[in-house]
Structure formats: structure tokens, C-alpha cells
Amino acid sequence: MSVIGFIQQYGYLALALGSFLEGEAVVLAAGLAAYHQHLALPYVIAIAAVASFLGDQPYFYAGRKYGTTILQRFPSLHSRKTRIDQLIERHHMLLVPSLRFLYGLRMVGLIAIGMSKLGTLPFQVINLISAFVWALAFALMGYGTGHGLEFFGEASGITQATVLATLLLFGTIAYFIRLRRRNSEN
């Protein structure tokens, strides 16, 4: 089932689950569904923000309680943790909101922040604010995509499905090019 199909079938429940599990694509799809009036945009933003905030808490508390054990069990996380430690020392107040937007660093970053000296309350306040900014950004991108696809389709006579398929094709090609470059560097 596609992300859009998941949203269409399960609505806000799919949005909550996807946002809890780091689902930018789910929030984008929910924003698109809001444009087509299948979901309400304010609810999309609120549900995505709260679910994302709640999804971050287990990682933070795991770092608080089990950080050292986790790093011993998964040595591959050690290099990322070192990078996060350096960032926490210099920019701890900016790092919490930034992690939400840095692909591949969110989970280990939250664990590292949990292991740091940053207090629980400051973390939660900053994290809640950043969850709303994240949800707003991705929901509005999805909503704007719906508007743009409709405008472009009407102006050129091309259907939305054709535009989406073309964008998906180019996105897939770009992904595999980036993956190939990354593998050749290793």
C-alpha cells in the first residue's frame, strides 16, 4: 500500500502512526489530502506535531537510562554519537530542533542528547516547539504540492497522476544516484 493509500484508508490514525515513527512522507501525504479536503489541515499539523513529539521521547529516555549500554551493543552508532557530542557541546539549544530535519541522525541524536547534561524540561520544551515547526513545514509542503499540481495540471492539460508519476520517477533516479555515490565513497 502506498503512503497516500495508507492516509486515504486510515486518515488521522495513519498520520499519527507515521509521524510517531518519523514519517515525513506521511505528513506530506496528509497535507496533500488536506488540500483535497479529505483531512483538515489544522488537525494534520496538530496530530503530526504531537505524535512526532511523543515519538522522540523514548529515544531521549533510552539515552538517559541506557545510553552506554546501547552504544556497547551497537558499535556502528559510536561514530554518529561522537559527531552529536561535538554538536551538543557547542550548540545544544539549536541541535534539538535541527535533529528533526537531519536525515539519519534523529534517533542517535536523541539518544546522545539523553546522555548529555541537557535537562529534561528544556529538552521537552524545545522539542515540542520544533515538532510543531516540523509538522507545519511538511504539512504545508504537502498542501502546497496539491495546489501546485492542480494549477500545473490545469494550465498544461496534464493530469495530476502524470505529474506525480514524473516527480516520483525523477525522485527515484536522484535517490539511486545518491546511493550509488555514497556506496562508491565507502
Q: Dig out the grid coordinates for 68 from the structure.
A: 552506554
Q: 18, 26 in Cβ contact below 8 A?
A: yes
Give the CA count within 13 Å in the CB-facing half-sphere of 112. Answer: 22
Write phi, then psi, for 147 (nearest 5 degrees): -65, -45
Supply the pTM of this predicted model.
Answer: 0.74
Q: For residues 79 and 129, what is the distance between their CA atoms, to the nearest angstrom? A: 28
The pLDDT tens digits along the chain (186 residues) read 566 777 777 889 989 998 898 778 889 889 989 998 999 999 999 999 999 999 999 999 999 999 888 878 888 877 777 777 777 778 878 888 888 887 777 887 888 889 888 889 999 999 999 999 999 999 999 999 887 776 665 555 566 666 667 777 877 887 788 778 777 766
Closest CA to 33 of 53, 18, 51, 50: 18
CA dihedral 133, 134, 140, 142 (to 10 degrees): 180
pLDDT at position 48: 97
Q: Dig out the grid coordinates for 9 from the structure.
A: 484508508
Q: 97, 130 in Cβ contact below 8 A?
A: yes
Range of the domain at 94: 3-185
How many structural domains is the chain composed of? 1
Write phi, then psi, for 102 (nearest 5 degrees): -100, 105
pLDDT at position 117: 80
